[in-house]
Amino acid sequence: MRATTLDDILDDGALPLAEDLRGTVESWLTHLAHERGVADKTLEAYGRDLRQFLRWLKGDLGHAPCLADLARVDAKRFRAFMAARRRESLGSRSLARTMSALRSFFRWLEGEEITKNRGVMQVALPKVPHGIPKPLTVGKAAEVVDAGATAQLDWIAARDAAVLLLLYGSGLRISEALGLRRKDAPIAGRDMLHVVGKGGKERLVPVLPVTQAAVERYIALCPYTLAPDGPLFLGAKGGHLAARIVQLLMERMRAGLGLPETATPHALRHSFATHLLSAGADLRQIQELLGHASLSTTQAYTEVDRERLLSVYEKAHPRA
**DSSP single-letter state for residue 121:** G
| Claim to verify: residue 110 and residue 17 sit in the same structural domain | yes
37-41, 54-58, 107-111, 268-272: which range is least confident on average? 37-41
Contacts 24+ apart (CB under 8 A), 55-64: 55/15, 56/81, 56/84, 56/85, 57/81, 58/15, 58/16, 58/17, 64/16, 64/17, 64/18
Q: Which of 173, 217, 270, 275 is catalytic?
A: 173
Model confidence at 234, in pLDDT bands (50, 70, 90)?
A: very high
Q: Which of 76, 93, 122 is the last residue of a domain?
A: 122
**194 catalytic per annotation:** no
pLDDT value at position 2? 45
If you average pLDDT over residues 171-178, what whole number do you get?
Answer: 90
Q: pTM higher than 0.85, yes or no?
A: no
Q: pLDDT band at residue 3, thresholds of 50, 70 and 90?
A: very low
Q: How confident is the model at residue 4 (pLDDT cuts 50, 70, 90)?
A: very low
Residue 193 lies in a domain: yes
Pick the catalytic residue: 51, 269, 270, 275?
A: 269
Question: Quick one: pLDDT band at residue 150, thresholds 50, 70, 90?
Answer: low
Q: In whole angstroms, give the CA distance from residue 59 to residue 71.
A: 17
Q: How far apart are the C-alpha atoms of 165 and 144, rounded to whole Å?
A: 9
Q: Cβ atoms within 10 A of the Cβ of 175, count?
A: 12
pLDDT digits (tens, 9 = 90+) for 14-44: 667 888 888 898 899 888 888 777 777 788 8
Per-residue pLDDT tens digits for 237-284: 999 999 999 999 888 888 778 887 878 888 888 888 888 877 777 778
For the chain, the domain total comes to 2
Q: Are 107 and 55 contained in the same domain?
A: yes
Query: Quick one: 85 and 213 in the same domain?
Result: no
The rounded distance, in Å, linking the Cα atoms of 53 and 199 is 25
Query: Which CATH number does the domain housing residue 294 bear?
Result: 1.10.443.10
**251/108 same-domain check:** no
Average confidence (pLDDT) over 174-187: 92
φ/ψ of residue 204, rounded to 5 = -110, 135
Residue 313 has pLDDT above 60, yes or no: no
- Are both 97 and 159 inside the same structural domain? no
Residue 283 in domain: yes
Please give the residue that has the higher pLDDT: either 294 or 273: 273
Cα distances (Å, whole numbers) of residue 134 to 79, 99, 233, 307? 34, 28, 27, 11
Domain presence at residue 59? yes
pLDDT at 182 over 90: yes
Q: pLDDT-derived band of residue 89, with 50, 70 and 90 as boundaries?
A: confident
Known catalytic residue at 218:
no
Asked about 79 being catalytic, the answer comes back as no
Residue 60 lies in a domain: yes
Shared domain for 93 and 152, answered yes or no, is no
Q: Select which of 31, 103, 198, 203 is catalytic.
A: 198
Is the separation of the CB atoms in 117 and 234 below 8 Å? no
Say yes or no: 78 and 191 in one domain: no
What is the average per-residue pLDDT within 117-144? 76
Residues 6+ away with beta carbon under 8 Å from 249:
160, 164
Burial of residue 103 (number of CB atoms within 10 Å: 0-12, 13-18, 19+): middle
Q: Can 266 be counted among the known catalytic residues?
A: yes
211 in Cβ contact with 180 (< 8 Å): no
In a shared domain, residues 100 and 156? no
In-domain check, residue 130: no
Indicate whether 127 belongs to any domain: no
Instruction: Report whether pLDDT(174) > 60.
Output: yes
Average model confidence (pLDDT) across the chain: 82
Is 301 catalytic? The answer is yes
For residues 93 and 230, state if they share a domain: no
Annotated active-site residue 31? The verdict is no
Choosing from 46, 168, 218, 301, the catalytic residue is 301
Domain region containing 56: 6-122
Of 5, 88, 99, 93, the residue nearest 44 (C-alpha): 5
CATH code for position 51: 1.10.150.130
**Helices 300-316 and 283-290, interaxial angle, to 10°?**
130
**Phi, psi at residue 240, to the nearest 5°?**
-65, 130
